Amino acid sequence: MVYRFLETLKTTEIVTSAGTHRLPQYTSTAAVWLFMRRPEHLDEIQREDLAAFRLAHTSLNTTYQLVQSFLQMMRHRQGARLDVWLTQVHESGLPELQSFASGVEQDKAAVQAGLTLPINNGQVEGQVTKIKLIKRIMFGKAGFPLLRQRVLHAL
């Protein structure tokens, strides 16, 4: 959703407080990056540009607030706020965020656990990735016994 709004801004010039025309120079990816960064990590020019984006359209301001709220939930593991956030998204009238929220609701228990529990399956996923890499390297070169030995010695 942010991408679509920012694509329209490429053709529109918006004057920032410094009087410069910076928004047409932003790519959509760079503009989304502004939306995702912590506000305290932005420099003065980036803050001005972000403010100009937010002033350009009311939907962008709402999107920014909802995105930052979700990122806060993720960073601080505040899963108890998930229901409130989902309600805010449904009331926002932003179809792209509503689509994301409906996906979250379909697997709400897992999302809630991910936002509250300190444990994750990152270690398991890393081992699976390593095994898949070895398997791809060994494809067509030898039989299962050699593959088994390479996997056992890699772990």
Three-state SS letters, 53-81:
HHHHCHHHHHHHHHHHHHHHHHHHCCHHH
pLDDT of residue 100: 93
% of residues, the chain, pLDDT over 70 = 85
* Span 6-33, pLDDT tens digits: 666 665 555 545 554 445 577 888 888 9
CB 60 within 8 Å of CB 2:
yes
Range 125-129, long-range pairs (CB < 8 A, 24+ positions)? 127/155
CB 90 within 8 Å of CB 101:
yes
Give φ, ψ of 78 to 5 degrees: -105, 65
What counts of helices (H) and strands (E) characterise the chain?
9, 0
Q: How far apart are CA 1 and CA 7, in angstroms?
A: 10
% of residues, the chain, pLDDT over 90 = 52
Look at residue 126 and tell me whether its pLDDT is greater than 80.
yes
Give φ, ψ of 18 to 5 degrees: -80, -5
